[in-house]
Amino acid sequence: MDVAIVGLGRMGSGVAKRLLDGGHAVRVYNRTASKSDELAKQGATALSSLQELVKALPAPRTIWMYLPSGETTREHADELLGYMEKGDVLIDGGNSNFQMTLSLSEAALKKGVTLLDVGTSGGLAGKDEGYCLMIGGDKSSVERLASLWGSVAQKEGYQWVGPSASGHYVKMVHNAIEYGMMQAYAEGMELLASSQFGKDLDLAAVTEVWQHGSIIRSYIGQLLNEAMEEDSSLSTIGARIDDNGEGRWSIEEGLRLGVPTPVITASLYARYQSRIQNSYAYRVAAVIRHKFGGHALAPATETTR
């Protein structure tokens, strides 16, 4: 199929590469042209503007965005919709707030364009192993684009989850759960390191054995084990853990719906605390986040207050 990718960060470039490997004709655009040029070397067609990108695609067009959530996504979507035509499909694969997705969907509908929201998980490994796609929007359009999802996702790794904005909602909750899982591992590791046995424990061996038959084995546990094998003291990194919004949005939804979210709330507050206090637990969570998503690590001494 013919498809365009807008935004070639870690996720967008990985999705573009998998589409190329799947035999699709891929056009790409990125504000930093060097990223487009790199994909062009692998078989993509690089365009220098959004207008050129739209013109280069045969109708009905399929344009897939991977951009920072918020105004950046809104600005690009608004410009693209100005060039797109009835029957085209615009896909938002970023971590957009579902409320903005509903607004964008309405704006697209006025143009006769279908907006699909595709929550995407898989981190750095997704480029090679395939991603998990949680797709919201018009079901018939999702089914028509099945070959795209099949190229990008792991086997059985994509699902239409419901109407417009539901894909981003499911991804929001997914990331909120991730917050809580990371924090539980982090606190457990600090207990081990601080205990009377801490000096004798081989934390790399402990996290390795957890991956073989234990109830808490997981992909996050695998990444934790990798970090422990590299440097279990984590003394060279800072404890600062940023957040991209999904945890906060989930807590706000819990308040709106009257659904208690004590674990998710505590894990978000822990991220705020990490910007003040440089503890081992926060360094554990920071290095896991770096492992799966390539998120920057703070210097060992950095604090914000």
- Output the domain CATH number for residue 16: 3.40.50.720
- Distance in angstroms (rounded) separating the CA atoms of residues 232 and 236: 10
Report if residue 299 sits inside a domain: no
**DSSP notation for 116-172:** EEEEEE-GGGHHHH-EEEEEES-HHHHHHTHHHHHHHEEEEEEEEEESTTHHHHHHH
Report if residue 300 sits inside a domain: no
- Are 46 and 76 in a shared domain? yes
3-class DSSP state of 297: coil
Output DSSP code: residue 48: S
Please, which contacts does 247-252 make with residues 24 or more away whose CB atoms are closer than 8 Å?
Answer: 247/175, 247/176, 247/179, 247/271, 249/97, 249/98, 249/172, 250/172, 250/173, 250/175, 250/176, 251/176
- Position 277 scores a pLDDT of 86
Give yes or no: 17 in active site.
no
- Are 118 and 201 in a shared domain? no
**Which of 100, 95, 118 is closest to 9 using CA atoms?**
95
- Are 151 and 181 in a shared domain? no
171, 187, 246, 291: the catalytic one is 171
- Are 269 and 232 in a shared domain? yes
Q: Which of 138, 163, 188 is the last residue of a domain?
A: 163
CB 273 within 8 A of CB 200: no
- Are 195 and 288 in a shared domain? yes
Report if residue 101 sits inside a domain: yes
**CATH at residue 289:** 1.10.1040.10
Report if residue 91 sits inside a domain: yes
Report if residue 144 sits inside a domain: yes
β-partners of residue 153 are: 131
3-class DSSP state of 2: strand
- Are 31 and 151 in a shared domain? yes
CB 75 within 8 A of CB 107: no
pLDDT tens digits for 241-298? 988 899 999 999 999 999 999 999 999 999 999 988 889 999 999 999 999 988 889 9
Report if residue 277 sits inside a domain: yes
- Distance in angstroms (rounded) separating the CA atoms of residues 39 and 110: 33
CB 186 within 8 A of CB 281: yes
What's at 37, amino acid-wise? D
- Distance in angstroms (rounded) separating the CA atoms of residues 39 and 24: 13
Report if residue 301 sits inside a domain: no
Give yes or no: 178 in active site.
yes
pLDDT tens digits for 87-143? 999 999 999 999 999 999 999 999 999 999 999 999 999 999 999 999 999 999 999
Q: Which two tokens stand for residue 26?
A: 């891929």
Whether the predicted pLDDT of 303 surpasses 60: no
3-class DSSP state of 283: helix
Alpha-helical runs (H) found in 57-136: 71-83, 98-110, 126-129
- Are 145 and 176 in a shared domain? no
Q: Which of 130, 163, 196 is the last residue of a domain?
A: 163
pLDDT tens digits for 161-201? 999 999 999 999 999 999 999 999 999 999 999 999 999 99
The stretch 219-229 carries a mean pLDDT of: 96
Q: Which residue has the tokens 């070397």?
A: 41
**Which of 176, 188, 182 is closest to 264 using CA atoms?**
176
Q: How many CA atoms lie within 13 A of 221 on its CB side?
A: 16
- Position 183 scores a pLDDT of 96
17, 35, 127, 178: the catalytic one is 178
State residue 192 phi and psi, 5-degree precision.
-60, -50
Report if residue 304 sits inside a domain: no
Q: How many CA atoms lie within 13 A of 170 on its CB side?
A: 22
- Are 191 and 152 in a shared domain? no
Please name the residues in contact with 234: beta carbons below 8 A apart, sequence gap of 6 or more.
227, 280, 283, 284, 287
- Distance in angstroms (rounded) separating the CA atoms of residues 225 and 90: 39
CB 116 within 8 A of CB 171: no
For residue 125, what are the domain limits? 2-163
Q: Which of 133, 163, 193 is the last residue of a domain?
A: 163
Domain count, the chain: 2
- Are 8 and 153 in a shared domain? yes
- Are 204 and 63 in a shared domain? no
pLDDT tens digits for 56-73? 999 999 999 999 999 999
- Are 62 and 205 in a shared domain? no
β-partners of residue 25 are: 2
Q: What is the pTM of this model?
A: 0.93
- Are 153 and 274 in a shared domain? no
- Distance in angstroms (rounded) separating the CA atoms of residues 234 and 248: 27
Burial of residue 258 (number of CB atoms within 10 Å: 0-12, 13-18, 19+): exposed
